[in-house]
Homo-oligomer: A and B are copies of this chain.
Amino acid sequence: MSFTVEAQRVCFHSLDLDCGITLSDVEVAYETYGTLNADRSNAILLLHAFSGDAHAAGVSADGQPGWWANMAGPGLGFDTDRYFVICSNILGGCRGTTGPGSINPVTGSAYGMSFPVITISDMVRLQKKLIDHLGIEKLLAVAGGSMGGMQVLEWTVAYPDSVAAAIPLAATARHSAQQIAFNEVGRQAIMADPDWNEGDYYSGNPPARGLAVARMVGHITYMSDASMRQKFGRRLRDKSVFGFDFSVDFEVESYLRYRGSQFVSRFDANSYLYITKAMDYFDLAAGKSSLAGAFDRTKARFLVLSFTSDWLYPTYQSLEIVSALRSRNVNVAFCELPSNYGHDAFLVDVKEQTEMVRGFLNSVYEDLYS
């Protein structure tokens, strides 16, 4: 069966935000894979993590594989032969959906820091508009890892009637002080760069050095001590003895510098600020009696996965979700999968995850529609 990546855009007239502001002319970049069935019951919404985009599956026109190309596609965990899979770039992003780098229709120039501070729930509100636009009343599943998992949780709470199943991976119901701290370092690195210029750099040089440093910090937190040891150890880069200078000595230094500078070419520094802020603000229990109370109206079934070596979103955070769900008698399956890959595991170490997701989606679909 042929596999087509449908890259599309849609523009919504307005979007109400948690901060009280209404944003107008909000564009959404999204892709779809597979075919929506006649009763529109086979739609799955994938929700990307911090630096992801709408290109989840397959290969784009310019040859780039999707960020979850190993999980979504024909015969894969999110089987595009069976399901209609959707992925959109998040609000505040820089990959096609309206964000701080977009043109403010009122002023005719880029928003920059005049872009309103957004939340995970704002992102999900925009996704709901997209799903409505596609004529889908109820999603078979929402699924995503990391910040994608936060959106999954928000979906089940904000739109309990619109989601049959939820798959949050390596996620949390609220950012811890340590998670906020790592994000704050990234923001400070960007804002310390003179080229950031209070966010007004779209007609000049972007804050490349600050953004690269922010990304380097992020990369360390996405890996594990063990995976870094396996991948780099203390191996030197293109030398057999120390250089006794401040050029690159170790492979791991070279890797981080490369990933940092590479990131600059595909990501907007202001989006970094806004999206990390949205993650830090996220607290599913805020305004509720408890985390369990947040799930009072939730009807979805859950598959919650965490990974042994993920120290950025540790298993105890997934267990808090599971515990809260169970206390509201929500149907939830949980597994901590063994992996050395740290937080990145949900993106790279997908063998067991694939089996879990496939089985879960099968059973949800059969129970509902067979």
* Interface residue ranges, A against B (CB under 8 Å): 19, 113, 116-117, 174-178, 180-182, 184-185, 187-189, 191-194, 209-210, 212-213, 216-217, 219-220, 223, 225, 228-229, 231-234, 242, 244-246, 249-253, 256-257, 260, 273, 277, 280-281, 283, 311, 314
Give Cα A193–Cα B245 distance, bound, in whole angstroms: 19
Closest residue of chain B to A235, judged by CB? Answer: B177
Contacts A177-B232, A181-B216, A188-B257 known; list 12 others, CB within 8 Å. Answer: A113-B246, A117-B244, A117-B246, A175-B234, A177-B225, A178-B228, A180-B234, A185-B213, A189-B189, A189-B213, A192-B193, A192-B212
Q: CA of A233 to CA of B178 in the docked complex: distance in angstroms?
A: 9
Closest 10 CB pairs of A and B: A192-B209, A177-B228, A117-B244, A177-B232, A19-B244, A177-B252, A184-B253, A178-B225, A178-B228, A185-B216
Q: B residues within 8 A CB of A185?
A: 213, 216-217, 220, 256
Q: How far is it, in angstroms, between the C-alpha of A180 and the C-alpha of B229 when the chains are bound?
A: 11
Q: Would you call A252 and B192 a contact (CB within 8 A)?
A: no
A176: contacting residue among B184, B216, B225, CB under 8 A: B225
B184 to A256, Cβ gap below 8 A? Answer: yes
Nearest chain-B residue to A199 (Cβ)?
B246
Q: What residues of chain B lie closer than 8 Å to A251, measured between beta carbons?
A: 177
Which single member of B244, B253, B257, B311 contacts A311 (CB below 8 Å)?
A: B311
Which residue on chain B has the smallest CB distance to residue A254?
Answer: B184
Copies of this chain present: 2
| Least CB separation from A20: chain B residue | B244
- CB of B277 within 8 A of CB of A246, answer yes
Q: Bound complex: CA of A252 vs CA of B184, how far in Å?
A: 9
Query: For residue A249, which residues in chain B have a CB less than 8 angstroms away from its CB?
Result: 280-281
* Chain B residues, Cβ within 8 Å of A219: 181
Measured between alpha carbons, how far is A217 from B214 in the docked complex, in Å?
Answer: 10
7 pairs across A/B with beta carbons < 8 Å?
A19-B244, A176-B225, A177-B228, A177-B251, A185-B213, A185-B256, A189-B192
Q: With A176-B225, A213-B188 known to touch, is A283 a contact of B181 (CB < 8 Å)?
A: no
Q: How far is the CB of A105 from chain B (nearest CB, A)?
A: 21
A176 and B244 contact, CB distance less than 8 A:
no
In this complex, which of A174, A184, A194, A209 has the most chain B Cβ atoms within 10 angstroms of its Cβ? A184
Say whether A177 contacts B231, CB under 8 Å: yes
- B220–A178 CB distance below 8 A: yes
From A260, which residue of chain B is reached at the shortest CB distance? B188
